[in-house]
Amino acid sequence: MQEVLTYLLMGGSALLTAGAVAFLGIGLYTNILERFLTEVRDESAGGMKGAGSVAIRKLGAMNRRFMWPGYESKTRRKLIKAGEPSQYKPEDIMALQEVSAFFALLAGLFVVNGIGMNLAWSLLVMLLGLFYPLIWLNDQVKRRHLAISRALPYNLDLLTLSVEAGMDFTGALAKVVEKGRQGPLREELQLVLKQLKMGKTREEALKSMIVRVDLPSLTTFVTALIQADKMGTSLGKVLRIQSTQMRIDRTQRAEKLAGEAPVKMLFPLIACIFPTVFMVLFGPIVFQFMFGNVGG
């Protein structure tokens, strides 16, 4: 029994150590790669950052010849929804995938050879590296959508107050851009304002914004504005209704997230916290029982 317990402890310790090293390695790799993805397009920088920018640009230029249309259109759409981070183009994302896969393969081979695992694991690590730039891009889209969703009620209230105070839509929009909080929604509204000043109609400028952002709550708001403009409805009344509905939606969304929190916490509790608590509470008792020290 003592030998079995010893083997179990050794196996558990090895498994926990391997898991900790794996999570640490993945965390370091993703952190370094995310910084690289964010800063590599700075072509004026010197050193490794500047060299990386030149390499990505040249590799992207070569990828342009071999990129299939489906990949280009899909990636370009995601880049637009993400706000075109670091002015990336589809060929740059493909180049980043290639670079990420190469370094992930090197890291995988180093780790696999170090701990004596099957070389097939290095291919799995390479696949993770290959798809990480796309995962990063999807995460940028989600972050931007979240920032716009959070900023929309405040900016809509400000727009409503400006219109109800007697300003026209363009003047109210300029006031929102001037007084609004810095973020992606303000940038989009600023672009709409610029398009209006360049001669685009309100409908064209607003529709181009919802195509770029592709967020349901913003699409609903813009659609209501366009319909009100076509039907001649009071803009202030429509904005007030939309503002009220936006606050209701925000409250419902917060209640939904609060209701989902206990379910999301269940797995970490069962998998991580409860076993540790049981080991601390009942571990000494089990040891004493197995070594025959209970009751003298």
**Mean pLDDT for the chain overall:** 82
Give domain status of residue 292, yes or no: no
Categorize the per-residue pLDDT at 44 as very low, low, confident or very high, splitting at 50, 70 and 90.
very low
What gap in Å lies between CA 181 and CA 198, rounded to an integer?
Answer: 24
Written as one letter, the residue type at 177 is V
Give domain status of residue 269, yes or no: no
pLDDT tens across 55-79, in order? 777 888 888 888 888 999 999 999 9
Q: What is the CATH number of the domain that holds 217?
A: 1.20.81
Categorize the per-residue pLDDT at 268 as very low, low, confident or very high, splitting at 50, 70 and 90.
confident
Domain match, 214 and 116 both: no
Domain match, 172 and 39 both: no
Domain match, 111 and 185 both: no
Domain match, 49 and 131 both: yes
How many structural domains are present in the chain? 2
Q: Check whether 31 has a pLDDT greater than 80.
A: no
What 3-state DSSP class applies to 229?
A: helix
Domain match, 12 and 93 both: yes
What 3-state DSSP class applies to 165?
A: coil
> What pLDDT shows up at residue 296?
46
Taking 3-state DSSP, the helix, strand and coil percentages for the chain, each rounded to the nearest 5, stand at 85, 0, 15
Range of the domain at 29: 2-145
Cβ(136)–Cβ(96) below 8 Å: no
Domain match, 139 and 197 both: no
Domain match, 103 and 130 both: yes
Give domain status of residue 113, yes or no: yes
Domain match, 53 and 111 both: yes
Domain match, 57 and 75 both: yes
> What pLDDT shows up at residue 294?
46
Token digits of residue 142:
């989600």
Compute the average pLDDT of residues 143-152.
93
Q: Check whether 291 has a pLDDT greater than 70.
A: no
Give domain status of residue 188, yes or no: yes
Domain match, 8 and 140 both: yes
Give domain status of residue 19, yes or no: yes
Q: Say if residue 206 is exposed, middle or buried (CB neighbours under 10 Å; 0-12, 13-18, 19+).
A: buried
Q: Say if residue 154 is exposed, middle or buried (CB neighbours under 10 Å; 0-12, 13-18, 19+).
A: middle
Give domain status of residue 62, yes or no: yes
Domain match, 120 and 246 both: no
pLDDT tens across 156-200, in order? 999 999 999 889 889 999 999 998 888 999 999 999 999 998 999
Q: Indicate yes or no: pTM above 0.85.
A: no
